[in-house]
Amino acid sequence: MGAIKVTDSNFQEEVLNSDVPVLVDFWAVWCGPCRAIAPVIEKLAEDFAGRAKVAKCDVDNNMQTPIQYGIRSIPSLLFFVDGEVRDQVIGGVSERELAKRLDALVGQAA
């Protein structure tokens, strides 16, 4: 299935109203580190299917949501549970680290 695309218009429905934890990758096409982490994001989407959502928000095409969450650097990864930011990572980070953080939130949401 892969990561879902979230936009200013569907962010509320897909992320804030989600009944499972959501990892949102704020990224842009021109961002090298964003492209480097993209395969990790896709793998996490597969690994956590059914337990959590993994989403991508293109900051160039969706201005409102990144501003709302104070996104100043990309990639920025925000972890949401019950519509609230519970964790955040800025910049490139290992798949293992992201999986560990997402696993912790899946455990809290159970």
DSSP string, 81-101: ETTEEEEEEES---HHHHHHH
Determine the pLDDT at residue 107: 80
Out of 22, 34, 44, 81, the active site residue is: 34
Scored b (16 or more CB within 10 A) or e, 61-77 reads ebeebbeebebeebbbb
Catalytic (active site) residue 57: no
Radius of gyration of the chain (CA): 12
Among candidate residues 20, 31, 90, 109, the one labeled active-site is 31
Q: What is the pLDDT of residue 109?
A: 58
Can you give the pLDDT at residue 86? Answer: 96
Q: pTM of the predicted model, to two decimals?
A: 0.95
> Catalytic: 31?
yes
Q: Averaged in consecutive runs of 10 residues, what is the pLDDT profile of the chain (110 residues)?
A: 94 97 97 95 96 97 97 97 96 92 82
pLDDT of residue 1: 67
